[in-house]
A and B are shown apart, each in its own frame.
Chain A
Amino acid sequence: MRSSARIDVANWCPTDIPGSYDLAIATIGYEDRSSYFWRTVRPSAASSFAFGFAEHEVLSFEKNLAFYNKAGFSVDRPDGSQYGAAVEAALLASAPDKDVTRVVIDISSLTRDRIALACECFGEHASNRVVEVDFVYYLAAFQRPGKRIKQNAYAGPVLPSFAGWWRYPELPVAAVIGLGYEENKALGAVELLQVPEAIWTFMPESTVKEYDAELLIANEELLKRVPEDHRVTYTVEDPFRTYKGLAALRQSISDLYNVVLLPFGPKIFGLASILVGLAGHHTAVWRISAGIHAKPREAYTHGDPFGLRVTFRSSSSEQPWD
């Protein structure tokens, strides 16, 4: 039961920032990078909101909170699914008399379920007016991954609306995995889903070269199962290309498999997966999480921001050429 909005996607970079947004959505996380964009780029917006998590208020959290308060953001700390309601309220309050609502949201420190909630809100809002959203992302400066494997507490759809629905339930599941550097996490997902062969991996490649070796170590066991022609390398800084590649792969294998997207690794890949998932209810997007035992770690930005500009339109506002 997914939003039926139609989306147009393009790459975004800082030169695309308009004179003013209608709505800015920030995150009060424990990472230094969660407020970096707002501290340094300072985009102008008619209304600005900063949402926290109501948990893990450690590390750079206080510093970020102080910044948002000082910078005039409306600050809230909704828990769980309340995030969707908070984004929806912010959307409803912004630019009610405009045909297009322009939104900027930094997803660098946002969880995957919150990214999905935000996308769902934008999609639903699009039934009334077009929503143009700039999703901003910063790479994190390299840190070695933690050594101890954490028990996973949750594995399932990123949101109920991303559970997918199989027309042919007996078809095998294909796992399309964005690789991250948490050891064997992707392998655990594949084991859980019992995917024997139909595995495709998306290996991130970025200007932070230290990640490369760690990714190979963390996914060594999984990669032994993945044939060379099922391994895709993507450039993190080119999310549009990633999105197109992911969408094309999903399209090409969906006659043979029930497709589950498992976006580990950079959040921008998570966003690309969620956008692909939005396009049809025959695809599931899952997340695997260690829950409250996931230990907060500091993260600083690396390089310039990049992202995606996504325009959400009502599915009934089809263009004549569609």
Chain B
Amino acid sequence: MVDALFRHHNARHATAAEVARTFVPPAFFDELLEPKHVVLVGPRGSGKTTLLKMLTTPAIEAWHHPIAAMAREKTTYTSVYVPSDITWREQFLAMAQQLGDAELATTLARSAFTAHLHRAFVSSVMTRLETYIEPKPHGEPFRRVPFTRAAEESLTRSLANAWGFPRPAPTLPILREMLSERIEEIYFIATQEKLLGTDGRSQRLASNRWVHVHYLHSIPTLIELTNNALGEPQGRWGFLFDELEIAPEWLQRELYASLRSVDQRAIFKLAMAPYMPFGTIVPEAKPIGVQDYTPIPLLGQNVRNTVNFCRAIWDQLISDRGLAALRPEDVLGWSRWSDDPDEPDSKYIEGSKFADQVQELRAKDSSFDRYIERFQAEPSTWAGMTERRRAQVLRKAQPIIYLRNYYLRSGGSKMPPRKSRKAHGLFGGFPTVFTLTDGNPRLIKAVLSSLIDVWIQTQRRVDFSTQGRLLKQAAEIFKSTLSNAVGPQPRIRHFGTGVVPLLECISQFFAVGVYGPGFNPDPRLTFIVDENAPPEVAKAIGVALNLGGVVLVGSNSEELFGDVVGKRFRLCYLIGLLEELPTRLGPEVKLSRLLDGSVQSGDSQVNLQLGLEGLDEE
């Protein structure tokens, strides 16, 4: 069942071969492969780690896929995967607190990170050398280099010397271990400095030359020395910095600013969450999206990309279970408000299923009846409607019509959610199930796996009620992970304190627009974090953004990450599902006004929102 939601699919500590085995390339994968600086932006679970690990030599070797050969051809560099970890960010912060000297703490933390980067570099060099690779890999040998012991010793000697080691290292693994000793040494230097205090500190630190080696400044030298040893003078190296959102702020800033680097042999690919309020960078040091790097957002892709990506994962899940090709349409059916191919071009004619929906809703919802009358949009008139008018009056309103008809009782009040079997039944089918995942691989795999497993057990199409129930179960689990997240604690009226009450408040506001007393064909479904939103609320939105609870809408590449103020968001569709919200965008509302209750989502603003003012009411 969906309890597997947060159990699987974390690529963090998976081997490259494990990652390659289940990797499904998204639409932008070839852009990522390009030997250019890239910033990958996505929340937890959006596949950043998988994507970066797929650029490493062992993963590319192990990958079997129709486009694997193209990927090998494009990967003209050796990747160095550099993970982050929330525990060592805390260790760096703790060091600063204990030393009471922020500058010293940053110097020591940077030195530790330099050793960490050098360890990752040594490991990457080893993935190229035949000495250290299985002779018969499962995949396609890729950029392997024969290397003699003498050549290795020569390389390790020069690297050890460049990194300030007093003695040479005979092999790369020994050099890597010496770097670990150095990380350990930093802890003892910090302990010593805490005990000795500031007297004579500069002299003591000056005597340790290696403490001052900056990871960024060390890169050209290590590339030069290694390229010479490998006989690849122009060899390029891709430094893949993962999960920067949990790295210390100084590291985030330095790496981001380094995207202006012009050393052609060093390519930086940074993976980060969208909420990264790492302070301002002076304009002359600030990289410019597209010009200095390629920004790639992992969520908020267009629906077609999301559906295609889900379909590719679907095919792989089917194949993993040893099943014959099986289309999602066959297992899930078509969603009720999709363009069902069984009903081609016939939605907007009198007597169609959609026309039945309209007539049913008119009978129980007087506000909708007035809407139809106002725009003279009775099904009997549809045949004579212009395309423009049909789009504005009917097509845009279509999901709202389906939802209201499904969830409103006679008399217009909404039936209690999640209490009846019916309450689960509208959110199902293809492609709605795909859309609801927002293209988040973690959610896609968990939700689709559960649905396929139901199909395997029953050997028949999974009914909408079961689909809806599983999706809502996934949504509840997702919500509970948001509840347990560490974050600010704004008090949100009667909803409570924290991130989840904030999202619940927003959801309910939107739900009133969709299901409230006045029919609104285009209710508000997005919000802007305006300047008047309390800072704690803005931070809580940032936390939700990094966990995938809200999704950035329509921003340009410069706005993909950073602070949240001034940006427009929607709820992730799975969270919206808990209030039966439609999977689409809508007009925005200022968050501060939503929270203080000064704007009502059920306000009748049909003309303003739809742009119908130019249409005659006929």
Binding site for B on A (CB under 8 A): 1, 148-157, 160-161, 163-170, 172-173, 184-185, 187-189, 191-194, 196-197, 221, 224-225, 258, 260, 281, 284, 288, 290-293
**Whole-angstrom distance between the Cβ of B172 and the nearest chain A Cβ:** 15
Contact between A184 and B484, CB atoms less than 8 A apart = yes
* A170/B480 in contact, CB under 8 A: no
Check if A155 sits within 8 Å of B486, measured CB to CB: yes
Could you count the A-B residue pairs with CB atoms below 8 Å apart for me: how many are there?
131
B480-A149 in contact (CB<8A): yes
Q: Which residues of the other chain, A, contact B481 by a CB distance below 8 angstroms?
A: 187-188, 191
List chain A residues, Cβ under 8 A from B85: 166, 169, 173, 258
Other A-B pairs beyond A168-B183, A196-B10, 19, CB < 8 Å = A151-B487, A151-B497, A152-B487, A156-B90, A163-B90, A164-B87, A165-B183, A172-B13, A173-B87, A192-B86, A192-B485, A194-B86, A196-B7, A196-B12, A196-B13, A221-B480, A224-B3, A291-B489, A293-B497
Closest to A148 in B: B496
Q: Are B94 and A188 in contact (CB under 8 A)?
A: no
A1, A152, A166, A184, most chain B CB atoms within 10 A = A1
B195 to chain A: closest residue by CB: A1
Complex Cα gap A148–B500 (Å)? 11
Contacts of A150 in B (CB 8 A): 497-498
Which of B186-194, B266-274, B347-355, B552-560 contacts the other chain?
B186-194
A–B pairs, 20, beta carbons within 8 Å? A152-B487, A154-B486, A157-B94, A160-B94, A163-B94, A166-B85, A166-B91, A169-B85, A169-B183, A170-B83, A173-B87, A187-B481, A188-B485, A191-B484, A194-B86, A258-B87, A284-B91, A288-B486, A292-B489, A293-B497
A288 neighbours in B (Cβ, 8 Å): 486
- Counting CB contacts under 8 A, is B88 at the interface? yes
In the assembled complex, how far is the CB of residue B573 from the closest CB belonging to chain A, in whole angstroms? 21
**Interface: B180 (CB within 8 A):** yes
Output the least CB separation between A29 and chain B (Å).
23
B86, B91, B194, B483: the one within 8 Å of A164 (CB): B91
For residue B606, CB closer than 8 A to chain A, the reply is no
Check if B261 is an interface residue, CB within 8 A of chain A: no
Bound-state Cα–Cα, A173 to B88, Å? 11
- For A155, the closest partner residue in chain B by CB is B486
Return the 3 tightest CB-CB contacts between A and B, nearest first. A188-B484, A151-B498, A163-B94
CB proximity of A18 to chain B, nearest CB, Å:
34
Complexed CA–CA distance, A243 and B590 (Å) = 53
Q: Is the CB of B183 within 8 A of A166?
A: yes
Question: In angstroms, how far is the closest chain B Cβ from the Cβ of A275?
Answer: 19
Question: For window 68-97 of chain B, which residues contact chain A by CB distance below 8 Å?
Answer: 83, 85-88, 90-91, 93-95, 97
A221-B477 in contact given A160-B97, A166-B87, A188-B484 (Cβ < 8 Å): yes
- CB pair A221–B485 under 8 Å, yes or no, is no
Establish whether residues B90 and A161, one from each chain, have CB atoms under 8 Å apart when the complex forms.
Answer: no
Residue of A nearest to B497 (CB): A293
Query: Once the chains bind, are A194 and B484 in contact (CB under 8 Å)?
Result: no
Q: Which residue of A lies closest to B13 (CB)?
A: A172
B486 touches A153 (CB 8 A): yes
Known A-B contacts A149-B480, A160-B98, A184-B484; A172 and B489 likewise in contact (beta carbons under 8 Å): no
B97 neighbours in A (Cβ, 8 Å): 160
Shortest C-beta distance, B441 to chain A (Å), equals 15
Does B538 count as interface, using CB distance less than 8 angstroms? no
Q: A166-B87, A173-B85 are in contact. Are A188 and B483 (CB under 8 A)?
A: yes
Once A149-B484, A168-B180 are accepted as A-B contacts, the answer to whether A284 and B489 lie under 8 Å apart by CB is no
Report whether B12 and A152 are in contact in the complex, using a CB–CB cutoff of 8 Å. Answer: no
Q: Which residues of A contact B94 (CB under 8 A)?
A: 157, 160-161, 163
Evaluate contact between B87 and A225: CB separation under 8 angstroms.
Answer: no
Contact A151 to B489, CB < 8 A, known contacts A157-B90, A169-B116, A188-B484: yes
B119 interface contact, C-beta 8 A: yes
Residues of A within 8 A of B6 (CB): 191, 221
- Within 8 Å CB of B498, what residues of A? 150-151, 293
A221 to B6: give the CA distance in the assembly, Å: 9
Contacts of A225 in B (CB 8 A): 7
Chain B: CB-nearest residue to A166: B88
Contact A194 B10, beta carbon cutoff 8 Å: yes
Question: Quick check: A1 and B191 within 8 Å, CB to CB?
Answer: yes
Nearest-neighbour CB distance to chain A for B488, whole angstroms, equals: 8
Interface SS majority for chain B: helix
Interface of B toward A, CB cutoff 8 Å: 3, 6-7, 10, 12-13, 83, 85-88, 90-91, 93-95, 97-98, 112, 116, 119-120, 180-181, 183-184, 187, 190-191, 194, 477, 480-481, 483-489, 496-500
Hey, which chain A residues are within 8 Å of B98, CB to CB? Answer: 1, 160-161
Task: State A161–B487 Cα separation when bound (angstroms).
Answer: 23
Shortest beta-carbon distance from A20 to chain B in Å = 35
- With a cutoff of 8 Å between Cβ atoms, the chain A residues found around residue B87 in the complex are 163-164, 166, 173, 193, 258, 260, 284
Contacts of B487 in A (CB 8 A): 151-153
Query: What residues of chain B lie closer than 8 Å to A258, measured between beta carbons?
Result: 85, 87
Kindly state the separation between the CA atoms of A160 and B90 in the bound complex, as whole angstroms. 8
Cα distance, A279 to B82, chains bound together (Å): 30
| B91 contacts A163, C-beta separation under 8 Å | yes
Cβ-neighbour of B483 out of A160, A168, A184 (below 8 A): A184
Give chain A nearest CB distance to B146 CB in angstroms: 27
Asked if B499 and A151 make an inter-chain contact with CB atoms under 8 angstroms apart, the answer reads yes
Taking CB atoms, residues of chain B closer than 8 Å to A149 are 480, 483-484, 500
B12 and A151 contact, CB distance less than 8 A: no
Bound complex: CA of A196 vs CA of B10, how far in Å? 7
Residues of the B chain whose Cβ atoms lie less than 8 Å from the Cβ of A196 = 7, 10, 12-13
A204 to chain B, nearest CB (A): 20
The chain A residue sitting closest to B113, CB to CB, is: A169
**B180 surroundings in chain A (CB, below 8 A):** 167-168
Alpha-carbon distance between A281 and B120 when the two chains are bound, in angstroms: 23
B500 (CB) vs chain A CBs: closest residue: A151
Residues of B contacting A187 in the complex (Cβ-Cβ under 8 angstroms): 480-481, 484
Contact A170 B119 (CB under 8 A): yes
Cα(A298)–Cα(B337), bound, Å: 53
Which of A150, A164, A170, A281 gathers the greatest number of chain B CB atoms within 10 Å? Answer: A170
Report the minimal beta-carbon distance from B562 to chain A, rounded to whole angstroms: 22
Q: Which residues of A lie under 8 Å from residue B497 when comparing CB positions? A: 150-151, 293
Complex Cα–Cα for A173 and B7 (A):
15
Please indicate the chain A residues that have their CB under 8 angstroms from the CB of B13 in the complex: 172, 196-197
Contacts of B7 in A (CB 8 A): 196, 224-225
Cα separation A184 to B180 with both chains bound (whole Å): 36
The winner among A155, A194, A290 for most chain B CB atoms within 10 A is: A194
Q: What distance in Å separates the Cβ of B10 from its nearest Cβ neighbour in chain A? A: 4
A154 vs B484: C-alpha distance when bound (angstroms): 11
Question: A160: which B residues are within 8 A, CB to CB?
Answer: 93-95, 97-98
Complex contacts, B488 vs chain A, CB 8 Å? 153
Which listed residue, A153, A165, A170, A291, touches B120 by the CB 8 Å rule? A170
Q: How far is the CB of B150 from chain A (nearest CB, A)?
A: 29
How many whole Å from B222's CB to the nearest CB in chain A? 18
Contacts of B477 in A (CB 8 A): 221
Q: Which residues of B have CB within 8 Å of A170?
A: 83, 116, 119-120
In Å, the complex CA distance between A155 and B246 comes to 13
Chain B residues near A151: list those with CB within 8 A: 483, 485, 487, 489, 497-500
Residues of B within 8 A of A155 (CB): 486
| Most A CB within 10 A of own CB, among B180, B181, B187 | B187
Residue pair A152, B496 in contact (C-beta under 8 Å) = no
Residues of A within 8 A of B187 (CB): 1, 165, 281
**Given the complex of chains A and B, what is the CA–CA distance between A208 and B181 in angstroms?**
48
Q: Separation in Å of the B195 CB from the closest CB of chain A? A: 9
State the Cβ distance, B40 to closest chain A Cβ, in Å.
Answer: 17
Separation of A191 and B44 alpha carbons in the complex (Å): 10
